[in-house]
Each structure stands twice: as C-alpha cells, then as structure tokens.
Amino acid sequence: QVQLVESGGGLVETGDSLSLSCVASGRTFSRDTMGWFRQVPGKEREFVAATWRATGYTYYADSVKGRFAISRDRAKNTVYLQMNNLKPEDTGVYYCAAAPTIILSNIREARGYDYWGQGTQVTVSS
C-alpha cells in the first residue's frame, strides 16, 4: 500500500519556524519528483515547493522563496520542508505529493502528482 505521511505541523507565531517531514512507503520514491502543496478552505491547492526527480533542483512559489527550503533523503524515502520566518498567510493544510512521470513544465501543477498524503495543519498566528 502506497502511503505518504506528513508530520511536523502545528500552531506557531509570526516569525517562527517549522520543519515538516513526509515519509513515503509502499514503493520506491527515489526517482520521483516530490512536492509540497498547501490549501486553505475555499481555495484550490497551491504549489509551495518541489524537487525535480532527475537533478534534485528545487523550485518554489514566489510567496515562499527565500523563507522555505525543500530537501530529500532518497535512501529514507523522506522529503522535508523547512519553513522559516512564517507569516499568517502561510496558514493551511500542507500536503506532500509524489510524481513519477511529471514533466518539468508542470512541476507546479497539482494535477501532475499521482500520490498524496493526508496533510498536516500549519497555523501561524499574527
């Protein structure tokens, strides 16, 4: 059974940091593109960050560039999202996702990801 399990969310104050983890199991994810998305009620799921399967290059939404960092440990089937200088607008449910065959031009598109976790809530108070 393929599973992605996120952890590390919580309630923090503006300016604080959080580190999210996503452990994948059920198949090998070492060759997948891995991404983080977030969603708030009433809005579509929004791209946050991704790491490209072939090179490990990282891509970020403009809103988090310079504050968030995505990384992965291929041997552990784990991807991380370090979030610094958090803002209230970063509040949402954060989802980990895996894409075995996504093309690079679609890396920011949720529809290109085949596997999803259940999400972890991040709340940033002002």
86's tokens:
């958090």
Mean pLDDT score, 92-110? 96
Contact 10, 122 (CB under 8 A): yes
Q: How confident is the model at residue 87 (pLDDT cuts 50, 70, 90)?
A: very high
Percent of the chain with pLDDT over 70: 100
117's tokens:
């976790």
Residue 52 has pLDDT above 90, yes or no: yes
Using CA atoms, how far residue 66 sits from 7, 43, 70, 72, in Å, is 22, 24, 11, 18
Mean pLDDT score, 82-91? 98
Sheet order of strands, 78-83 included? 3-7, 18-25, 78-83, 68-73
CA nearest neighbour of 103 among 54, 70, 61? 54
Q: How confident is the model at residue 34 (pLDDT cuts 50, 70, 90)?
A: very high
Residue 54 has pLDDT above 90, yes or no: no
